A = this chain, B = another copy of it.
Amino acid sequence: MYLARVIGTVVASHKEPNLSGIKLLVVQDLADEGTQKSVIAADAVGAGVGDTVLVLQEGGSAREALGKPEAPINDAVIGIVDQYKGYGPESRA
């Protein structure tokens, strides 16, 4: 798992049917700020652009977190972070 900022969104109209209704977010590890590295994660908690979030990187858990056992996903946003210390370039008290 890692801490990330939500920096964008994705729209795919032609997709695998089990992806329907899943909000896809572009998230960037706080430690990668300033680089082009980011990933696409399914939203399980109602996060939006600008939020600092906890990202899970495993399909089985991710599908359970979304309550969609058939969904083809392998990354999910599972928490909105209020405070953290000791991660990446900054802390948030």
Known: A7-B86, A60-B59, A61-B71. A80 touches B39 (CB 8 A): no
| B84 adjacent to A26 (CB under 8 Å) | yes
Interface residue count for A (Cβ, 8 Å)? Answer: 61
In the complex, the count of this chain's copies comes to 5
**Shortest Cβ distance from A43 into chain B, in angstroms?**
11
Q: Which residues of B contact A86 (CB under 8 A)?
A: 7-9, 26, 28, 38, 49
Q: Which residues of B contact A36 (CB under 8 A)?
A: 31, 88-89
Residues of A within 8 A of B (CB): 1-3, 7-16, 18-19, 24, 26, 28, 31, 36-42, 44-46, 49, 54, 56-65, 70-76, 78-89, 91
